[in-house]
C-alpha cells in the first residue's frame, strides 16, 4: 500500500512532516485495516470521525499536523465490536475501554497493535519501521434526548461522574463515603468500595457508560459523543447524518464517512475547509516517547555533533569564470532547487558556468537497510544544462561552489547517497558548500509548537553543520531554521547559525 517514497520527509500545506510521523501514520492505517476487516466480516458500521473525517474530506489523508486516526460507531455497533474484537484482533493487539481498563475514558475505545513498543524486527517491518505502539480511537455515538429536562439531567449526571472519577483517589475516607452516598441517592446505583476485584473508579466508569446510553433512537433527533459533549455542549449532530455511509479516500485507503459529513463538519467546525493549525489533548506526536525508547533499545544511534564548524569566508575568485554545480538526487526535489538555479542564471551566467548534476541514490527499507538504487537523471527538465555524474570526478574538478540538498549522509532514515557525495566529501571538493534544504515549510509563528518540533527533527543531520551556507526562502523562515538549529547545537550557537543562514 505504501511505496518507500511515502516515508520521505515532506511538506504538506506548508507544514513539515518528518519520517517518524509518516511511519506512525502508516502503522495507524495498518491497525485501521484490521478493524475494518472485522467490521466488514460482521456487518458493523463505522465512520471516519474528528480529524480523520476532516482529513479525508479536505486532504484525502491525514491533516498534516495530526498524528492519529479517529473513527466512530453507534452504540449498538460499538458494543458488538468490543465483544468480537477481543477474540478476532491479531495476536499482540490490545483493546482499551472502560469495561476492561480502570479509569479509561467513557464513550471511547482504543485499539493498539501492542503495549508500549516492540523491538521485534518482524513487528517493525510489518508496521513500516514504527516500533512504538500505534492505535486508533473509536468514539461511541449515543443518542441525545430531545427533551430538555432529560438532557439537562443527563448532563448533570455525566458532569458529576466524570468529576468524581477524576478526584476520587485524592479524597479523604469521609469524603469518599459522602460521594458514594450521593451516587446512590441521586443515580440509584450502589458502588461497592469493598470489592477486591473491581475498584471504585472502575465501577464508576461502568456506571458512566450506562448514563451515556440512557436514550434510544426514539427519544432523540441527534447523536453525540458524550465524552466531548460533556465539555462542549454544542457538539451534537442530526442523527440522519449517520443513516448511511459514503466512501472517502484516506492515504489510499477507502474509508467510510457519514453520509451527512458536510452537515456534521459544518455544525461542529464551521467553515471546515479553512485550515487552522490546532493542537489536541495529547502530546504530539503521542507515540514519540515510546518510539525513542524502542529506537535506542534496538541499537539506534542519533547523530550528535562533536563540534560546531565555522563557515568558510566568501573570497573573491581568481578565475575568469567560476564553476557552479547544483547536485540533486531525486527529480521531484528539483522544484526546491529551481529558484536557486534561476537566480544564479539571471545574476551570474555572464561570469560562471552553471551545471545541474543528477545523482544516484539508494532507498532503505523499514529496518534501515539499503535495498534499491535509483537514478532520476532522465526525469529532469531537458532544457537544463545537465551533466552526467559519471563524467566528473568532483575531487579533481574542485568547483567554486556546490549547491546540494541531501544533508543526511549515512543518518538518513529513508535514503542515502554514495560516500563521495556526502557532506564532508563535498565540502573538500569545493571552495564553498551551500545547502538548499528540500521540503522547506512555510514560515510559522512562535506559538506553533508542532511545526517547530517537526523542523527540529528535520535539521538534525551532518549537512547542516558542515555546509558553509544554508539557503532558505525568506527572513521569517530563516528565523525558524536558526531556532531549530540552535535547539540542536545549543543556544550559544545561535550567532553562528544566523551567520550561516541566507535567503534565496
- Calpha distance 205→105 (Å, rounded): 8
Q: Which of 293-302, 311-320, 392-401, 431-440 has the lowest mean pLDDT?
A: 311-320
Q: Is the pLDDT of residue 349 over 70?
A: yes
Mean pLDDT, residues 178-183:
96
| pLDDT band at residue 76 under the 50/70/90 scheme | very high
CA torsion through residues 127, 130, 132, 138, sign: negative
SS3 per residue for 481-497? HHHHHHHHHCHHHHHHH
| pLDDT at residue 345 in the model | 97
Residue for cell digits 472485522? 38
Q: Residues spanned by CATH 3.40.50 within the chain?
A: 322-503
Q: Is the pLDDT of residue 92 over 70?
A: yes
| pLDDT at residue 488 in the model | 93
Other residues' Cβ atoms within 10 Å of the Cβ of residue 195: 11
| pLDDT at residue 95 in the model | 95
Spatial neighbors of 2 by CB under 8 A, at least 6 apart, are: 26, 128, 252
| pLDDT band at residue 281 under the 50/70/90 scheme | low
Residue 143 vs residue 278, higher pLDDT: 143
Q: What percent of the chain has pLDDT over 90?
A: 88
| pLDDT band at residue 302 under the 50/70/90 scheme | confident
| pLDDT band at residue 265 under the 50/70/90 scheme | very high
Q: Is the pLDDT of residue 370 over 90?
A: yes
CA torsion through residues 73, 77, 83, 89, sign: negative
- DSSP assignment of 239-301 equals GGGGSSEEEEEETTEEEEEETTHHHHHHHHHSSTTS------SS-SSTTHHHHHHHHHHTT--
Mean pLDDT, residues 168-185:
96
| pLDDT band at residue 308 under the 50/70/90 scheme | confident
Q: Is the pLDDT of residue 335 over 80?
A: yes
- Tell me the sheet residues that pair with 299: none
| pLDDT at residue 314 in the model | 74
| pLDDT at residue 320 in the model | 79
Mean pLDDT, residues 328-342:
97
| The three three-digit cell numbers of residue 201, written as one number | 473508579
| pLDDT at residue 277 in the model | 82
Angle 347-350-354 from CA coordinates, rounded to 5°: 75
Tens digit of each residue's pLDDT (9 = 90 or more) over 403-434? 999 999 999 999 999 999 999 999 999 999 99
- Tell me the sheet residues that pair with 435: 404, 470
Residue for cell digits 430538555? 148
Closest C-alpha to 453, from 216, 289, 241: 289
- DSSP assignment of 451-486 equals HHHHHHHHT-SHHHHH-SEEEESSHHHHHHHHHHHH
Fold of 322-503: Rossmann fold (3.40.50)
DSSP 420: G
End-to-end CA distance of the chain: 37
| pLDDT band at residue 169 under the 50/70/90 scheme | very high
User: Burial of 231 by CB count in 10 Å (0-12 exposed, 13-18 middle, 19+ buried)?
Assistant: exposed
| pLDDT band at residue 491 under the 50/70/90 scheme | very high
Tens digit of each residue's pLDDT (9 = 90 or more) over 387-408? 999 999 998 888 999 999 999 9
Q: What is the mean pLDDT of the chain?
A: 94
| pLDDT at residue 208 in the model | 94
Other residues' Cβ atoms within 10 Å of the Cβ of residue 396: 7
| pLDDT at residue 318 in the model | 67
Q: Is the pLDDT of residue 235 over 80?
A: yes
Q: Is the pLDDT of residue 304 over 90?
A: no
| pLDDT at residue 317 in the model | 65
| pLDDT band at residue 492 under the 50/70/90 scheme | very high
Q: Is the pLDDT of residue 100 over 90?
A: no
Do 226 and 106 touch, CB atoms closer than 8 A? yes
Q: What percent of the chain has pLDDT over 70?
A: 98
DSSP 73: E
Mean pLDDT, residues 278-299:
87
Q: Is the pLDDT of residue 286 over 90?
A: yes
Q: Is the pLDDT of residue 196 over 80?
A: yes
| pLDDT at residue 299 in the model | 80
Amino acid at each position: 500500500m505504501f511505496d518507500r517514497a511515502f516515508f520521505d520527509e515532506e511538506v504538506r500545506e506548508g507544514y513539515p512532516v518528518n519520517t517518524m510521523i509518516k511511519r506512525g501514520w502508516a502503522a495507524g492505517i495498518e491497525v485501521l485495516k484490521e478493524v475494518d476487516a472485522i467490521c466488514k466480516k460482521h456487518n458493523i458500521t463505522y465512520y471516519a470521525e474528528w480529524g480523520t473525517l476532516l482529513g479525508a474530506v479536505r486532504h484525502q489523508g491525514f491533516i498534516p499536523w495530526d498524528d492519529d486516526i479517529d473513527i466512530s460507531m453507534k452504540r449498538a455497533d460499538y458494543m458488538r465490536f468490543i465483544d468480537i474484537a477481543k477474540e478476532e484482533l491479531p495476536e499482540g493487539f490490545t483493546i482499551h475501554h472502560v469495561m476492561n481498563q480502570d479509569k479509561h475514558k467513557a464513550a471511547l475505545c482504543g485499539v493498539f497493535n501492542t503495549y508500549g513498543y516492540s523491538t521485534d524486527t518482524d513487528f517493525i517491518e510489518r508496521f513500516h519501521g514504527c516500533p512504538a505502539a500505534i492505535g486508533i480511537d473509536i468514539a461511541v455515538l449515543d443518542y441525545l434526548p430531545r427533551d430538555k429536562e432529560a438532557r439537562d439531567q443527563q448532563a448533570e449526571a455525566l458532569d458529576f461522574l466524570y468529576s468524581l472519577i477524576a478526584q476520587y483517589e485524592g479524597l479523604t475516607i469521609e469524603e469518599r463515603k459522602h460521594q458514594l452516598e450521593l451516587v446512590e441517592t441521586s443515580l440509584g446505583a450502589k458502588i461497592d468500595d469493598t470489592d477486591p476485584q473491581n475498584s471504585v473508579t472502575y465501577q464508576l466508569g461502568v456506571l458512566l457508560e450506562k448514563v451515556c446510553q440512557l436514550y434510544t433512537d426514539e427519544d432523540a433527533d441527534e447523536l453525540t459523543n458524550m465524552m466531548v459533549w460533556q465539555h462542549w455542549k454544542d457538539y451534537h449532530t442530526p442523527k440522519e447524518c449517520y443513516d448511511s455511509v459514503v466512501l472517502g479516500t484516506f492515504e489510499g485507503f477507502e474509508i467510510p464517512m457519514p453520509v451527512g459529513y458536510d452537515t456534521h463538519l459544518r455544525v461542529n467546525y464551521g467553515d471546515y475547509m479553512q485550515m487552522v493549525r490546532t493542537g489536541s489533548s495529547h502530546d504530539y506526536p503521542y507515540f514519540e516517547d515510546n518510539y525513542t525508547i524502542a529506537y535506542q533499545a534496538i541499537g539506534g544511534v542519533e547523530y550528535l555533533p562533536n563540534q560546531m564548524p565555522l563557515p568558510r569566508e566568501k573570497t573573491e575568485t581568481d578565475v575568469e569564470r567560476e564553476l557552479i554545480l547544483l547536485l540533486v538526487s531525486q527529480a521531484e526535489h528539483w522544484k526546491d532547487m529551481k529558484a536557486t538555479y534561476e537566480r544564479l542564471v539571471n545574476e551570474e551566467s555572464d561570469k560562471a558556468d552553471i551545471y545541474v548534476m543528477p545523482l544516484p541514490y539508494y532507498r532503505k527499507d523499514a529496518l534501515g537497510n539499503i535495498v534499491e538504487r535509483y537514478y532520476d537523471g532522465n526525469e529532469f527538465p531537458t532544457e537544463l544544462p545537465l551533466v552526467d555524474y559519471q563524467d566528473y570526478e568532483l575531487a579533481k574538478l574542485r568547483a567554486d561552489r556546490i549547491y546540494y540538498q541531501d544533508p543526511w549522509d549515512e543518518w538518513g532514515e529513508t535514503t542515502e547517497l554514495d560516500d563521495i557525495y556526502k557532506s564532508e566529501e563535498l565540502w573538500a571538493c569545493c571552495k564553498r558548500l551551500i545547502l538548499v534544504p528540500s521540503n522547506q515549510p512555510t514560515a510559522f509563528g512562535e506559538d506553533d509548537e508542532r511545526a517547530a518540533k517537526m523542523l527540529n527533527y528535520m535539521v538534525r543531520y551532518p549537512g547542516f553543520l558542515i555546509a558553509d551556507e544554508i539557503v532558505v526562502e525568506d527572513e521569517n523562515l530563516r528565523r525558524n531554521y536558526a531556532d531549530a538549529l540552535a535547539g540542536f547545537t545549543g543556544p550559544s550557537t545561535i550567532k553562528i547559525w544566523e551567520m550561516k543562514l541566507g535567503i534565496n
